[in-house]
Amino acid sequence: METAEHKANKQTLTGIVVSDKMAKTIVVEITMRKLHPLYKKYVTRSKRIKAHDENNDAHVGDTVRVIEARPVSKDKCWRLAEILEKAK
């Protein structure tokens, strides 16, 4: 039997932790490169999202994967799925 987490297709994003100063919360910066439709030039877009980190495992500079979750607070609707690479 599958759990609810595997049943739904939840979006996952990969980014770099830019802040870990809040309790059980990290700020992850997601960077995307998109091709401009008219000028055919790659444009870098970035956004910052707050993610729930239950055990305070992630720190500034870590590369992490976050997954969609139910809203935890006003700004947090993502949670830490895994730490891909620790900061050096």
What are the tens digits of pLDDT across the range 14-66? Answer: 999 999 999 999 999 999 999 999 999 999 999 999 999 999 999 999 999 99
Give the CA distances from residue 11 to residues 57, 68, 77, 87, in Å, rounded to whole numbers and listed in that order: 21, 6, 11, 24
Extents of the domains making up the chain: 4-85
Is domain 4-85 classified as CATH 2.40.50.140? yes
pLDDT band at residue 88, thresholds of 50, 70 and 90?
A: confident
Report the predicted TM-score, pTM, of the whole model to 2 decimal places. 0.84
